Amino acid sequence: MSNRNTGLAVEAEGLVRSFGSTRALDGLDLRVPAGTVYGVLGPNGAGKTTAVRVLATLLRPDGGTARVFGHDVVRDADAVRSRVSLTGQYASLDEDLTGAENLVLLGRLLGLGRVAARDRAEQLLAAFGLTEAAGRQVKKYSGGMRRRIDIAASILNTPDLLFLDEPTTGLDPRSRNQVWAIVRAVVAYGTTVLLTTQYLDEADQLAGRIAVVDHGRVIAEGTPGELKASIGAGSVHIRLRDPEQRPQAEQVLRASLGVPVQLAADPAALTARVGEHGTDLEAGTQAARALGELAAAGIVVDDFSLGQPSLDEVFLALTDHPAVPADERDDELEAAR
Ligand SMILES: Nc1ncnc2c1ncn2[C@@H]1O[C@H](COP(=O)(O)OP(=O)(O)OP(=O)(O)O)[C@@H](O)[C@H]1O
Ligand SMILES: [Mg+2]
């Protein structure tokens, strides 16, 4: 097919997949433009991995259809397999082999000759900053190194579509940044990336378009900007000098802005949306007025900012529950292993 970089990499309509009484996919629709990073964003159990497994032909759907570069995932599964690669949430390299040995072995399995496999392994190890760790057993890799070698393994043969299932869950910020750089490089090479994530900022950073998935279906879709715009012009973030004044500040803000006020994890902080559809005042005017009313009530504001709503706020607005509970944010590396 000629549509490696044009048209749709994925076209799924009404996908259904149940496990017993759990409808993991409940009518999922997805259209992924080729040549881009597409984010599938959702909380634990939303159906992200199930969707990826169906699209990668590892799991048959109970209903609906899906095509990858025009090939039906059930009827033309072989054609689909020849174009895709998957870095799973639970990707399996041989733990007892070194990084280099794993890549050479996989390269050989993919049909590369001995020399070509070694060259490709060396090239990938260097590109992913793993040259020094090349001779170490994979089971001794850190979480970040492990994610990088997983991705390296999945692009040995430069797939047209790469599935990355939560590639950065549980990683520290530095390792996440390394993985993000790799994702950008992979896309620059012409591979389409379908990335699942629970991290709203990750989708925001990487993805051209995002599908927000909850309970096995897409509840919103668009560019990060469109998703943010759909819930209002922006939000005002306020930090009080005295956390004890927060209940009073919440009342003043709610009355002034006419919207619910969110209490942040920081006991001195509050957030509220401004510039909602249907209000005639500009976001800045609304925020300025609200600040004036806080001052008039004797509430001291230490810090204040007016910005676009975060995808976290988008998620809350769409689902009535936060995307990721705050206490699960900084999982230890082990939790992701
Ligand atoms: N093999 C299975 N057997 C039984 N239930 C399953 C199986 N795979 C998934 N499920 C259920 O289907 C639902 C969707 O699971 P899935 O793994 O697709 O979610 P997810 O969005 O990938 O979540 P996470 O962010 O935790 O990885 C969940 O309720 C899950 O328990
Ligand atoms: Mg998953």
Q: What is the pLDDT of residues 229-284, one digit of tens each?
A: 776 667 889 999 999 999 999 999 999 988 889 898 889 999 988 876 555 567 78
Which one of 49, 54, 195 would you pick to mutate in the ligand 1 pocket, going by the greatest count of ligand atoms within 8 A of its CB?
49
CA 57 to chain CA centroid, nearest Å: 21
Please give the distance, rounded to the nearest whole angstrom, from the Cα atom of residue 47 to the centre of ligand 1: 6
Q: How long, in residues, is the chain? A: 337
User: What's the pLDDT score for residue 322?
Assistant: 65
The dihedral over CA atoms of 305, 306, 307, 312, expressed in degrees to the nearest 10, equals: 70
Q: What's the pLDDT band for 337 if we cut at 50, 70, 90?
A: very low
Please give the distance, rounded to the nearest whole angstrom, from the Cα atom of residue 216 to the centre of ligand 1: 10
Name the least confident of 34-38, 72-76, 189-193, 205-209. 189-193
User: What's the pLDDT score for residue 90?
Assistant: 46
The more confident residue out of 5 and 129 is 129
Amino acid letter for position 35 = G
Q: What's the pLDDT band for 41 if we cut at 50, 70, 90?
A: very high
Q: Please name the residues in contact with 322: beta carbons below 8 A apart, sequence gap of 6 or more.
A: 312, 315, 316
Six-digit token pair at 311? 């995808």
**How many CA atoms are closer than 13 Å to the CA of 162, on its beta-carbon side?**
29
* Total Cβ atoms within 10 A of residue 158: 12
Which one of 16, 18, 22, 53 would you pick to mutate in the ligand 1 pocket, going by the greatest count of ligand atoms within 8 A of its CB?
22
Residue 305 pairs in a beta bridge with 237
Please give the distance, rounded to the nearest whole angstrom, from the Cα atom of residue 164 to the centre of ligand 1: 16
Q: In angstroms, what is the C-alpha Rg of the chain?
A: 23
CA 231 to chain CA centroid, nearest Å: 20
> Which domains are delineated in the chain?
8-228 (3.40.50.300), 232-308 (3.30.70.100)
Whose Cα sits closest to atom 18 in ligand 1? Answer: 47
| Nearest one of 152, 170, 154, 171 to 162, comparing CA atoms | 154
User: What's the pLDDT score for residue 15?
Assistant: 98
For residues 239 and 302, is the Cβ–Cβ distance under 8 A? Answer: yes
CA 67 to chain CA centroid, nearest Å: 22
How far apart are alpha carbons 9 and 34 in whole angstroms?
5
User: What's the pLDDT score for residue 279?
Assistant: 56
Atom of ligand 1 nearest to the CA of 47: 18
Share the mean pLDDT of the chain: 86
Please give the distance, rounded to the nearest whole angstrom, from the Cα atom of residue 30 to the centre of ligand 2: 17
Please give the distance, rounded to the nearest whole angstrom, from the Cα atom of residue 330 to the centre of ligand 1: 22
| Nearest one of 105, 104, 111, 117 to 82, comparing CA atoms | 111
Nearest ligand to the C-alpha of residue 46? 1
For residues 273 and 286, is the Cβ–Cβ distance under 8 A? Answer: no
User: What's the pLDDT score for residue 96?
Assistant: 94
Amino acid letter for position 294 = L
The more confident residue out of 201 and 35 is 35
pTM, full prediction:
0.76
Which one of 19, 165, 217 would you pick to mutate in the ligand 1 pocket, going by the greatest count of ligand atoms within 8 A of its CB?
19
